[in-house]
Structure 1
Amino acid sequence: MDNHSQSPHILMIAYPLQGHVIPFVHLATKLASKGFTITFVNTESIHHQITKSQLSSSSSSGVLLGPNNKVHDIFAEARKSGLDIRYATVSDGFPLTFDRSLHHDQFMEGILHVLSAHVDVLVGKLVSTNQPVTCLISDTFYVWSSMIANKYNLVNVSFWTEPALVFTLYYHMDLLRTNGHFASPHDDNREDAIDYIPGVARIDPKDMASYLQAADTTTVVHRIIYKAFEDVKRADFVICNTVQELEPKTISALQQKQPVYAVGPVLPAAGFTKSLVGTSLWPESDCTRWLNSKPHASVLYISFGSYAHCTKDEIVEIGHGVLLSGVSFIWVLRPDIVSSDQTDPLLPLGFEDEVKDRGMIVPWCSQIAVISHPALAGFLTHCGWNSILESVWCGIPLLCFPLLTDQFTNRKLVVDDWRIGLNLCDKKPITRHEVARNITRLISGESADELRKNVKAVKGLLENALSVAPGGSSHNNLNQFIDDMIMKANIKKKKK
Structure 2
Amino acid sequence: MGESNNSHSHRHAIVFPYPFQGHISPTLNFAVALASRGFVVTCVLTEFVHNAASKFGDFNFNFSGLDIRCATISDGFPLDFNRRLSEEFRESLINDFAGRADEVIGRITRSYPAAKFVLVADSLFSWPAAVAEKYGLVNVTFWTEPATVFSINYHLDLLRENGHFPNFAASGESRIDYIPGVRSISTNDLMSYIRQPKALPGVTKIAVTAFQQVKNADFILCNTVQELEPEALSALNHRHPTFAVGPITSSISHVHKHLVDKITLWPRSDCTDWLDSKPPGSVLYISFGSIARINEHELREIAHGLLLTQVNFLWVLRTDYGTKNAFPDGFLDDVQNRGIIVPWCNQNAVLGSVSVGAFLTHCGWNSVLDSIWSGVPMICHPLLVDQPTNRKLVVDDWRIGINLCDKEKVSREEFVRKIEMIMEGNECVLLKEEVKKVREVLKNAWESSNGSSRRNFDRFVEELNCRLLLKKN
Bin for the TM-score computed over the shorter chain: over 0.9
Of residues 360, 375, 378, the one that matches 2:358 is 378
2:301 aligned partner: 317
- Cα distance between partner residues in 2 of 1:217 and 1:317: 24
Task: String of CA shifts for 1:254-301, please: whole Å, max 9, x gaps.
Answer: 111111111111125324999544610111100000011111111110
Distance 1:478 1:275, change over 3 A: closer
Which of 21, 25, 50 in structure 1 is aligned with 2:24? 21
Aligned to 1:417: 397
1:444 is aligned to 2:444: no
Question: Quick one: distance in 2 between partners of 1:422 and 1:404?
Answer: 18
> What residue in structure 1 maps to residue 109 of structure 2?
127
Q: Tell me the equivalent position of 2:264.
A: 280
Q: Does 1:86 align with 2:65?
A: no
2:157 corresponds to 1:174: yes
Q: How many residues align?
A: 463
Q: Residues 315 and 343 of structure 1: is their aligned pair in 2 closer, same or farther, counting only changes over 3 Å?
A: closer
- 1:104-183 equivalences under 5 Å are 104-130=86-112, 132=115, 134-183=117-166
* Corresponding residue SS for 2:471: helix
Over 4 Å off, 4+ runs: 272-278
Does the 8 A contact of 1:7 with 1:486 survive in 2? no
| CA distance in structure 2 between the aligned counterparts of 1:302 and 1:254, rounded to whole angstroms | 34
Alignment of 1:446-465 (within 5 A): 446-465=426-445
CA distance in 1, matches of 2:304, 2:68: 47
Distance 1:156 1:356, change over 3 A: same
- 2:469 is the alignment partner of 1:490: yes
Q: What do the CA deviations read for 1:192-224 (whole angstroms, capped 9, x no partner)?
A: 211111111111000110111115389222221
User: What is the Cα deviation at residue 489 of structure 1?
Assistant: 1.4
Q: Distance in 1 between matches of 2:459 and 2:398?
A: 28
Q: 1:396 aligns with which of 368, 376, 390?
A: 376
Conserved in 2, the CA contact under 8 Å of 1:50 and 1:278?
no
Cα shift at 1:157: 0.4
The residue type equivalent to 1:384 in the other structure is G
Specify the SS of the correspondent of 1:86.
Answer: strand
Contact preservation (8 Å) 1:11, 1:133: no
The 5 A counterparts of 1:15-414 are 15-54=18-57, 74-75=59-60, 78-101=61-84, 104-130=86-112, 132=115, 134-184=117-167, 188-189=170-171, 191-214=173-196, 216=198, 219-267=201-249, 269-271=252-254, 275-277=259-261, 279-337=263-321, 342=322, 345-414=325-394
Contact 1:274 1:369 in 2 (8 A): no
RMSD: 2.0
Output the TM-score relative to the length of structure 1: 0.89
Instruction: Please state how far the C-alpha of 1:237 moved relative to its aligned partner.
Output: 0.4
- Say whether the 8 Å CA contact 1:181–1:190 is kept in structure 2: no
CA distance in 1, matches of 2:100, 2:320: 28
Q: Does 1:479 align with 2:462?
A: no
Check whether the contact 2:122–2:141 (CA below 8 A) recurs between aligned residues.
Answer: yes
Q: Is the 8 A contact 2:10 2:116 kept in 1?
A: no
Deviation at 1:133, TM superposition (A): 6.1
Cα separation, partners in 2 of 1:187 and 1:412, compared to 1, 3 Å: closer
State the distance in 1 between where 2:314 and 2:370 align. 17
Structure 1 residues 36 and 198: CA distance shift in structure 2, 3 A = same
C-alpha contact 1:180 1:189 (8 A) present in aligned 2: no
CA drift of 1:467 comes to 3.2
Query: What code does the residue aligned with 1:94 have?
Result: F
The answer to whether the aligner puts 1:432 opposite 2:412 as a matched pair is yes
Amino acid at match of 1:16: P
**How far apart are residue 343 of structure 1 and its match?**
8.0
Q: Which has the higher helix share?
A: 2
Indicate how the Cα distance of structure 1 residues 81 and 322 shifts in structure 2: closer, same or farther if over 3 A, else same.
Answer: farther
Distance 1:153 1:202, change over 3 A: same
Match of 1:8 in 2: 11
Which runs of 5 or more residues in structure 2 are unaligned? 1-8
Deviation at 1:189, TM superposition (A): 4.2
Q: Quick one: distance in 2 between partners of 1:386 and 1:117?
A: 30
Deviation at 1:474, TM superposition (A): 0.8
2:32 partner letter: T
Where 1:428 maps in the other structure, the secondary structure is: coil
User: Which structure 1 segments of 5+ residues have no match?
Assistant: 1-5, 59-73
- Per the alignment, do residues 218 and 465 of structure 1 end up closer, same or farther by CA in structure 2, a change over 3 Å counting? closer
**One-letter code aligned to 2:152:** L
Contact 1:187/1:215 (<8 A) preserved: no
How has the CA–CA distance of structure 1 residues 346 and 146 changed in structure 2, closer, same or farther, with 3 Å as cutoff?
same
Q: Distance in 2 between matches of 1:277 and 1:457?
A: 26
| Aligned partner of residue 48 in structure 1, secondary structure | helix
SS in structure 2 at match of 1:127? helix
| Of 134-143 and 426-435, the range deviating more from structure 2 | 426-435
**Separation of aligned partners in 2, 1:163 and 1:7:** 32
Q: What SS does structure 2 have at the residue aligned with 1:379?
A: strand
How far 1:322 moved relative to its partner? 1.5
Match of 2:3 in 1: none
C-alpha separation in 1, matches of 2:447 and 2:262:
26
